[in-house]
Amino acid sequence: MGKSKIKSTTVLAIVHNGEVVVGADGQATMGNYVAKSNVKKVRKLQEGKIVTGFAGSTADAFTLLERFDEKLNAYGGNMKRAAIELAKDWRMDRYLRKLEAMLIVADKAEVLVLSGTGDVLEPDNQIAAIGSGAMYAQSAALALKKHAPHMSAEEIVREALTIAADICIYTNHNLVIEKIS
C-alpha cells in the first residue's frame, strides 16, 4: 500500500515584511467524517525561535516533531541542518519511512517544507503550504502578498486560511496562528 495523499488539513507559512508566521486549521478527519475540530497543528520549539506545522497522521507528525526537536538540540538550533538530517533519517529509516505526514518548519529568516521522500524545500515567494487546502491558501497568500503588501504576515495567513476553509472540506475555520518570537 503506497502513501495516501495528505488531505487532513491546511498549514500555511509566510515570511513577509520582516515577520514569519505559521498557521493551520484545527480539523482532523477520519475517512469521511470530522473526528475533531480543534486540533493544534502548529507548535513552537526552541523557546519560540522555531515554529512548526504539520499535515497528515497526527501520531506520525508528533513522532517527526520529536525527532526534529532532537535534531535541533544536536545541531545547536540550526534549523536547516536539523531539517536536512531529519529528512535523511526519514527517507532511510525503516520505521520513519512509513510515517505519513509533512512538516513546515520556520525560523526568523526562512521557511522549509519537509517530506518523507527526503525533500527539504525552500518555497518560492517565501510562502509554504501543505495539506488538502494548500493550493487554495497558497494562492490566496500570493495574491495578498502581491496586492496588499501593507497587510501583516499574520493578517495574510489568517485571511488565506479562511479562504481555504471556505473551499476545502478538510479544512475548518478554527485557526491556530503563531509568530516567531
Q: What are phi and psi of 36, to 5 degrees?
A: -155, 145
Find the angle CA(35)-CA(134)-CA(116) to the nearest 5 degrees.
Answer: 80
d(CA 5, CA 132): 8
Choose, from 9, 10, 29, 52, the residue flagged as catalytic.
Answer: 9
Query: Which set of grid coordinates corresponds to residue 54?
Result: 504539520
Is 10 considered catalytic here?
Answer: no
Query: Alpha-carbon torsion 59, 64, 66, 69, what sign?
Result: negative
Q: How far is CA 96 from the centre of its chain?
A: 18
Residues annotated as catalytic are: 9
